[in-house]
Structure 1
């Protein structure tokens, strides 16, 4: 019998029986896409959850698509000022969305405290006058200071879009507010805290801006079948909306389960002598459990030990975008914080139903007690 691997993440979406009731409604009206009733209902429920006006939420077919249409709606397609300033410490979708809107990525470093861009430092960046777009990131769902991003946008006169792919929890729990000035983009991928299976959303308390988001997501159409602005096809289908609605129905139970897993990790960490720092919710999204080792060598040794015990880990942001083959063609600042943090940080197994004994196994291995417990 092949030993079972403990995966770094095992998504569990609502069961088919719970989604089916919503799908039956789609069959009744035979309106499956193009912002059907289930999509509108999902957006309305999300708006209430986030405490924002009804126009403040627009869904998209993926988190990357949400970024793309937010850029088109807020900054427009790149023309004279084509540079897009963004962190290297992020997932590839951040830069890809900018590319697809005609921008040229330029990678900058992050703050060692927030792991995100420093708005004050960015205001004085030597290439700020060339920038037509600033893409900030909420790393692992840790939202940056949105008010500071609003001030940066006003002072630099450069549109700012926030890639908050895993930021659902912080916004839904009221730890951060939806902005009227800076669009915030979520991913609703299966690996996130809230999911439609595949999908995304733009949160922006700006009615004219969201009208442009809706237009950009529908080929640039507005009241006709003639494209009137740069656009794409980024609409969420009713099938995915049905998953999202069922997910919202079970949100309270999911929150309790996530909290129990986080508490179990904290308790096990308190009893262990870990050679580094454990990062958990609510500081980051409950979709992650991160371990920060004191050095790249320690991180590599621990990951090798975990892998040998059939425990999967993941460097979610790899070594940063600036060193990835496709993105090496673009400019980058010196990146000392990114270059230090990225090789020391890796993801541990996490799921809302992860058993306590598995959590104990993982942390025993990290604490180098795995051999004593018979895990390696």
Structure 2
């Protein structure tokens, strides 16, 4: 079986070292020493500041919105469900704008039209889909011109740069998921990277029940902290990240070379590197995609229609500013196996089975 995904497995000997430290310290959660060590090492590795570890990627999105003080959001219908449900759960007002047909990312021009239709919008939530950066320059210009905040769901972009800096440095906040399925993980967990330190400090109080040390309750808060055991897994996995990212990006490039003349592929940001988070392909329609999924399954190869369905068809009570490109991409999207345990030979096999399938 060539699995669709296989989580990065932490080195047990190295993990044991950290677990013993936790027991010796007797400090299991509440901003412990391993939490702080992981924060510092991630900031250094990713080239960011104001990184706040949290308990999961959904909390990261909710926290970003609350720390920035926004609650009327235009977002993408082409993303994982949490991109919308995180805000919908806390009763924010949501609407959908269309994606760019080539990149599959939220389109600044479509968002601009949505802002024209609803001037009360105060935030844009855009996903860097499959690790492919959005038009960050376009959104930065739009943010300044229209006085709206920008939050990036950056859960697919660990280790991705635009030019000479991390894509996480764009926007007012960028969120990461450290779920076990991600390139880098802490089993469960996540982070928010804030542009401004004041928002970082506000958010840090919020995930500690709104309590500021020595000052008491300053915010209406929640419990959203990353514990020491999760931090231990993160510290062990971070040691392997250079090797993991290199391997995954090589498999991604191998897929691109083998499939670029066979199926439609999203157009990548011209200044961005690959991290091999996902391997998306676009077929003519969902019927063709289903046939290919079945053919690959016959050869013990897993694949998945991801993302499908489009979120505007799930959250139908949210306003829709028009999403024809989303409809077109969702009708036929498919993700192929890509993970750290795959080999170049596995990738060649998947490419071969697709080209020989008789489905295309």
**TM norm structure 1:** 0.86
Choose from 293, 306, 309 the match for 1:319: 309
Following superposition, the deviation at residue 175 of structure 1 comes to 5.1
Q: Distance in 2 between matches of 1:144 and 1:266?
A: 19
Corresponding residue SS for 1:329:
coil
Following superposition, the deviation at residue 96 of structure 1 comes to 1.6
Partner of 2:248: 258
Matches within 5 A, 1:208-227: 208-223=198-213, 226-227=216-217
Answer whether contact 1:66 1:200 (CA < 8 A) is retained. yes
Q: Distance in 2 between matches of 1:323 and 1:177?
A: 29
1:195 aligns with 2:185: yes
User: Quick one: structure 1 residues 67 and 174, their matched pair in 2 at CA, closer, same or farther if it must change by over 3 Å?
Assistant: farther
Q: Distance in 2 between matches of 1:6 and 1:306?
A: 10
User: Quick one: structure 1 residues 172 and 159, their matched pair in 2 at CA, closer, same or farther if it must change by over 3 Å?
Assistant: closer
Partner of 2:63: 69
Answer whether contact 2:53 2:225 (CA < 8 A) is retained. yes
Q: Distance in 2 between matches of 1:22 and 1:172?
A: 34
Alignment: residue pair count: 356
Partner of 2:7: 11
Answer whether contact 2:57 2:155 (CA < 8 A) is retained. yes
Any stretches of 5+ residues in structure 1 without a counterpart?
372-376
Deviations 1:201-234 (A, max 9, x none): 1112321110012112112222368543232211
Partner of 1:143: 133
Following superposition, the deviation at residue 344 of structure 1 comes to 1.7
RMSD: 2.7
Q: Distance in 2 between matches of 1:176 and 1:144?
A: 13
**TM norm structure 2:** 0.89
User: Quick one: structure 1 residues 261 and 117, their matched pair in 2 at CA, closer, same or farther if it must change by over 3 Å?
Assistant: closer
User: Quick one: structure 1 residues 171 and 197, their matched pair in 2 at CA, closer, same or farther if it must change by over 3 Å?
Assistant: farther
User: Quick one: structure 1 residues 224 and 32, their matched pair in 2 at CA, closer, same or farther if it must change by over 3 Å?
Assistant: same
Following superposition, the deviation at residue 354 of structure 1 comes to 0.9
Following superposition, the deviation at residue 199 of structure 1 comes to 0.9
Q: Distance in 2 between matches of 1:334 and 1:110?
A: 10
Choose from 268, 278, 290 the match for 1:288: 278
Deviations 1:87-133 (A, max 9, x none): 11111111122123330221111111332222244233244322233
Partner of 2:43: 47
With 260-269 and 329-338 compared, the bigger mean Cα shift is at 260-269
User: Quick one: structure 1 residues 258 and 181, their matched pair in 2 at CA, closer, same or farther if it must change by over 3 Å?
Assistant: closer
Partner of 1:110: 99
Following superposition, the deviation at residue 62 of structure 1 comes to 0.7
Q: Distance in 1 between matches of 2:21 and 2:162?
A: 27
Partner of 1:31: 27
Any stretches of 5+ residues in structure 2 without a counterpart?
none
1:86 aligns with 2:75: yes
